[in-house]
Copies of this chain bind each other. A is one copy, B any other.
Amino acid sequence: MTTNRYWKLNRYPEGNDFASAFSLETSEIPTPRDGEVLIRNAYLSLDAGTRMWITPRTDSYHPPLPTGGPMVGLGLGRVVASRHARVKEGQLVRCFGQWADYSLVRPDDASLHILDESVSDQRQYLGALGLNGWTALLGLRHVADVQAGETVLVSAAAGATGLLACQIARTIGARVHGIAGSDEKCTFLRDRIGIDGEINYKTSDVASELGKIEGGINVFFDNVGGSILDAAFPHMAMHGRIVICGIIAAYASGGRTSGPSNFDQILMKRLKVQGFMCTDFLEMGEDLTAQLREWMDGGKITMPFDETRGLENTLAAYSKLFTGRNIGKVIVRL
């Protein structure tokens, strides 16, 4: 291959209409300059959070990605050329690059991770050992301080971060309830992940189901917001903690969303509600990965993959994240 295909962002998408916003373009394979690294991507990680980068909003956590250039995302691949002191040709790395055959990056210390090749399924670096794992672990431990015996609720429980939050919470010794959007996902959560209770939000009255949880919810690991957060808020236990890891409910509408409708419960129950992104903690990555690796090697956590083949099919894979069709981590294999 002498050319590089990449997904170009032509304009910010309306809702989930990604086909009108992106085009697959071809260029020459770039040559790294001083401080740059060229990576042949093996897998792209598709993540709902990146939806916030492709809106015109300037009050998001990330400045709007410029239109007219390549789409940016996390990838796993091998270094084919490096002019960066820390990175060597042939190394397996994970970093924020482009939706492309090749990523050209100028890594700082935290944005490119050189990976240990002893992990048998490398894809787990985008799964249990990846940013979804970090998010689940940091959210449960550092933000919510989950204790054994507590009750943890996870929304988007069959998504990549949700599945890891369920498994880590269970490993810590918590009772785990999950909310997901299909019977297939609920069955998966019950039979394969082994959680204590599952709710299909499309066919159940979520608030009423949550009201049956004895003792209330000590920790809510929320990836969704909107009506799911509304339903959970009054069923939190005294001194409960809500970790806001994502607001999927609002991404398509440009991110606007209202706070929970029973907001007075934050005072009545002395709740802590905290927004949180693992990218604030990249320097803790080594320790996080070590803990996750120990659990993965011990069979406590794993990640199923929803794998699409071919860069040309990236948009179809990406849209799964916003229509709730995936179980586990959505990746593209190049």
Say whether A274 contacts B271, CB under 8 Å.
Answer: yes
Contact with B along A244-268 (1 / 0, CB 8 A): 1111001000011111111111111
Say whether B273 contacts A277, CB under 8 Å.
Answer: no
Assembly CA distance A257 to B59 (angstroms): 25
Assembly CA distance A169 to B151 (angstroms): 36
Closest to A253 in B: B264
Contacts of A291 in B (CB 8 A): none
Assembly CA distance A267 to B262 (angstroms): 19
Assembly CA distance A119 to B169 (angstroms): 51
A234-B59, A247-B264, A264-B250 given as contacts; is B259 within 8 A of A270 (CB)? no
Give chain B nearest CB distance to A264 CB in angstroms.
5
Q: Does A60 contact B (CB under 8 A)?
A: yes
Which residues of chain A from 127 to 178 have any CB-CB distance to chain B below 8 Å in the complex?
none
Closest to A255 in B: B264
Q: Does A84 contact B (CB under 8 A)?
A: no
Q: How many copies does the complex hold?
A: 2
Say whether B61 contacts A268, CB under 8 Å.
Answer: yes
Say whether A225 contacts B257, CB under 8 Å.
Answer: no
Contacts of A255 in B (CB 8 A): 264, 268
A59-B234, A259-B260, A259-B261 given as contacts; is B270 within 8 A of A266 (CB)? no
Task: Give the interface SS of chain A, mostly helix, strand, loop or mixed.
Answer: loop
Give the residue of B59, B256, B264 whose beta carbon is less than 8 angstroms from that of A256: B264
Q: Does A276 contact B (CB under 8 A)?
A: yes
Q: Does A272 contact B (CB under 8 A)?
A: yes
Say whether A258 contacts B267, CB under 8 Å.
Answer: no
Which residues of chain A from 277 to 325 have any CB-CB distance to chain B below 8 Å in the complex?
277, 280
Contacts of A271 in B (CB 8 A): 274-275
Say whether B269 contacts A275, CB under 8 Å.
Answer: yes
Give the residue of B256, B261, B280 whose beta carbon is less than 8 angstroms from that of A262: B256
Say whether B277 contacts A59, CB under 8 Å.
Answer: no
Give the residue of B234, B257, B268, B272 whose beta carbon is less than 8 angstroms from that of A264: B257
Assembly CA distance A89 to B61 (angstroms): 61
Contacts of A275 in B (CB 8 A): 265-272
Q: Which of A61, A259, A277 has the most CB of B within 10 A?
A: A259
Give chain B nearest CB distance to A92 CB in angstroms.
31
Contacts of A268 in B (CB 8 A): 52, 59-61, 255, 275
Q: Which of A234, A247, A264, A275 has the most CB of B within 10 A?
A: A264
Say whether A277 contacts B272, CB under 8 Å.
Answer: no
Contacts of A234 in B (CB 8 A): 59
Pick 25 A–B contacts, CB within 8 A, sort by A: A59-B234, A60-B268, A61-B267, A61-B269, A61-B270, A225-B264, A244-B267, A246-B267, A247-B267, A250-B264, A255-B268, A257-B264, A258-B260, A258-B263, A259-B261, A259-B266, A265-B275, A266-B273, A266-B275, A267-B275, A268-B275, A270-B277, A271-B274, A271-B275, A272-B275
Minimum-distance CB pairs A-B, first 4: A259-B259, A259-B263, A266-B275, A267-B275
* New A-B contacts (11) at CB < 8 Å, excluding given A61-B269, A257-B264: A52-B268, A61-B267, A247-B264, A258-B261, A259-B259, A260-B263, A266-B273, A269-B275, A271-B274, A272-B274, A272-B275
